[in-house]
Amino acid sequence: MGRKPILVFQTDFTYREGAVCAMYGVVKTVDRDLEIFDGSHELPKFDVWSASYRLYQSMEFWPKDTIFVSVVDPGVGTGRRACAARTVNGYTVVTPDNGSLTHTATKIGIAEIREIDERINRLEGTRGVSVFHGRDLFGYCAARLASGIITFKETGPAYSVDEIKRLPIIEPSMDSRAVRGILEIDDPNFGNMWTNIPLAMFTKAGFSYGDMLHVTIRHGGQAAFEEAVPFARSFGYVEKGRPVIYNNELMNIAIALAEGNFSSAYSLGYGAGWEVEFAST
């Protein structure tokens, strides 16, 4: 027999109370041999965009057939779908269909999606609870999938991938004058801001390490940051406290403050409304 799939959980629950513990207890009650790992339980509260991005950020570094359980669910207990999705490259995501699949669907691709059938794949004795689907639906169903008790088909009825709820993503672009994109996410511990602009687009625009580029960040049409910033391989190429453009671990362009916090220094956020432009000086 082959190895059972690994389970990777991410939530906005934190570790300050027993929610994560209860989810993992359910998994181990289904099958004690299942491996559980944490993505993060410190996602920003109610931030479905962050849940979507963090899935995409780490997914392809895990073994094929890993099952991801993602629970940032401000609409828990309402009519939003609870689902299991299979990616085109062999992963499974168990999550509310509330936008959490946006980056996975757009950047990786989803081959099949099914709505979880609560009559079969809900933890026994929890039908009166509407506010803890992380334990009662997502964790329980994922454990049954990983253990082989049910097949993917048995999670519930299929629906069209075209029906997946997606958050708006503005794709990066370039012209003869500039490269443009969005601040797609932050690095919360260090305050670096990651864009959705691939290094390949920078190269195509003729930008090279050592160049000084004019950076403009806008939100709601207003400039939040506008300055000439060097493009370097890493943080140590500029003086402490100075901004630097660099290539991050996903081969996308990012901006940091050397040994500082770029996000808080300039009160920056992320998402489709945070536009960034790089141009030659």
Q: Which residues pair with 71 in a beta bridge?
A: 11
Q: Answer yes or no: do 52 and 150 share one domain.
A: yes
Tell me: do 56 and 195 sit in the same domain.
no
Claim to verify: residue 185 and residue 257 sit in the same structural domain: yes
* Structure-derived torsion over alpha carbons of residues 108, 113, 119, 121, reported in degrees to the nearest 10: -30
Residue ending a domain, among 163, 183, 211, is 163
Give the pTM. Answer: 0.94
How far, in Å, CA of 278 to CA of 204, rounded? 13
Q: Which two tokens stand for residue 52?
A: 């979507």
Domain ranges, residue 24:
7-163
**Do 110 and 14 share a structural domain?**
yes
Distances (CA, A) of 250 to 50, 54, 158, 280: 16, 12, 32, 23
> Which of 116, 136, 163 lies at the terminal end of a domain, its last residue?
163
Q: Within a domain: residue 12?
A: yes
Same domain, 81 and 100: yes
User: Do 257 and 222 share a structural domain?
Assistant: yes
What pLDDT, on a 0 to 100 scale, did the predictor assign at position 2?
77
CATH of the domain at 182: 2.40.30.90
Shared domain for 57 and 177, answered yes or no, is: no
Considering the domain architecture, whether residues 270 and 220 belong to the same structural domain is answered as yes
92 within 8 A of 4, measured Cβ to Cβ:
no
- Express each pLDDT in 23-43 by its tens digit: 999 999 999 999 999 999 999
pLDDT, one tens digit per residue, over 168-218 is 989 999 999 999 999 999 999 999 999 999 999 999 999 999 999 999 999
* Same domain membership, residue 123 and residue 11: yes
Q: What is the CA radius of gyration of the chain?
A: 21
Q: Identify whether 256 is part of a domain.
A: yes
The answer on 70 and 39 residing in a single domain is yes
- How far apart, in whole angstroms, are the C-alpha atoms of residue 40 and residue 14? 8
CA-nearest of 89, 88, 39 to 64 is 89
Residue 1 included in any domain: no
Same domain, 134 and 177: no
Helix, strand, or coil (residue 238)? coil
Does residue 131 belong to any structural domain of this protein?
yes
Number of domains composing the chain:
2
**What are the pLDDT tens digits along the chain (281 aa)?**
579 999 999 999 999 999 999 999 999 999 999 999 999 999 999 999 999 999 999 999 999 999 999 999 999 999 999 999 999 999 999 999 999 999 999 999 999 999 999 999 999 999 999 999 999 999 999 999 999 999 999 999 999 999 999 999 899 999 999 999 999 999 999 999 999 999 999 999 999 999 999 999 999 989 999 999 999 999 999 999 999 999 999 999 999 999 999 999 999 999 999 999 999 98
